[in-house]
Amino acid sequence: MSRSAEDPVGELTAGGSGDFQITDAELADSVKQGLARVESMLHDLVQSELDFATRTSLHLVDAGGKRFRPLFTLLAAQFGDPAEEAVIKSGAVVEMIHLATLYHDDVMDEATMRRGATSANARWDNSVAILTGDFLFAKASQLIADLGAEAVRRMAATFEALVTGQMRETEGVGAGEDAVEAYLRVIYEKTGSLIATAGRFGAWFSGADQAVIESLERIGKLLGIGFQISDDIIDIASPTDESGKTPGTDLREGVKTLPMLYALADPDTDPRLRDLLGRPLERDSEVEEALELLRASGGLERTRATLQEYADDARKELASLPDNAAREALSALVDYVVARTG
């Protein structure tokens, strides 16, 4: 079993200047206990009378990952009673929905690797990956039914946002539509919507006040968008040995992320960069050239400024929450999202 599976906070508490750590010992223990319960529930939920369905589902469950969504659920629950069984169930639901989308994403992206392991579509085939994602959606639906009709409605709306965001990305920017605004909407729907729901569920099922519930939902939205923007920056700015990722992945796939969109909107952008951003790049030499030009462009600087704006908005929301160790941890989580970009 990977380190992330044994310690679900994984990369987020690994230490170092850019990593997220919970410094309050009592809070850290509460969150780790909660995450262990979520992890156990995930493993129990994917058990099926069909052994093959269990094995394909465990493929990503056992691959670990940051468990960012249930972590946020549990931090949000600290404003009420974090030990409530409904909190743990909601944390498992949001992670299971997330995992299901990863199986489908890998098919759409024709990915070969996921979390350091061979992706399900590459290990088996596209049909198995799609069906496994559907199986996880079904299991999540069974679990959320235990949380009541309002929770089902909320998750259905979130699922609609996840699908709509993917469809918007697939369709592309419409005529007369602002490309940056369209992109920010897509990353809210594809990433921010589920993290917002994770925050809402954690606070709601812990018995927190309504104002706290709504604030944590807004913080989740801002964190989700910010996390994707930070990924956009890392894909351009961070060397492989620092980020653990291969820079220029989006360039190779022809995906226009926020730094690229800002660069294209800047009249002073180098014409050569405009040419390179106009098509998928297959040659390593062109990818490296585009990365160098992007790193020197105003697009990357403007993206960093936008990330800081989302972080500042999240901090303003945090200021309205009760002053406790969880609020401090959430503030550190906001700092982590910014600091991970280097």
pLDDT digits (tens, 9 = 90+) for 70-82: 999 999 999 999 9
Q: Report, as ranges of residue numbers, the positions in the chain whose pLDDT lies below 50.
A: 1-18, 241-244
Amino acid at 82: P
Kindly state the DSSP code that residue 117 receives in the 8-state scheme. E
pLDDT of residue 110: 66
pLDDT of residue 6: 34
198, 73 Cβ separation under 8 angstroms: yes
Please give the DSSP secondary-structure letter assigned to residue 113. E
Model confidence pLDDT, tens digit, residues 295-323: 999 999 999 999 999 999 999 999 999 99
pLDDT at 8: 36
pLDDT for the residue numbered 14: 34
Predicted local distance difference test score (pLDDT) of residue 2 = 29
Q: Which helix (H) or strand (E) holds 114?
A: strand 113-114
Give the chain's domain count. 1
- What integer pLDDT is reported at residue 120 of this predicted model? 77
Give residue 239's pLDDT.
64
Whether the Cβ atoms of residue 59 and residue 27 lie closer than 8 Å to each other? no
CATH number of the domain encompassing residue 128: 1.10.600.10
Q: Which residue has the tokens 């796939």?
A: 253
Task: Scan for tokens 């006040």, then name that residue.
Answer: 209
The one-letter amino acid at 329:
A
Please say whether the beta carbons of 67 and 56 come within 8 A.
no
Phi, psi (rounded to 5 degrees) for 117? -120, 160
Instruction: Give me the phi and psi of 118, to 5 degrees please.
Output: -60, 130
**Domain with 122 in it:** 3-339
pLDDT of residue 109: 66
Residue 269 DSSP label: S
Three-point CA angle 194, 199, 201, nearest 5°: 90
Encode pLDDT of 265-295 as tens digits.
999 999 999 999 988 888 999 999 999 999 9
pLDDT, position 115: 59
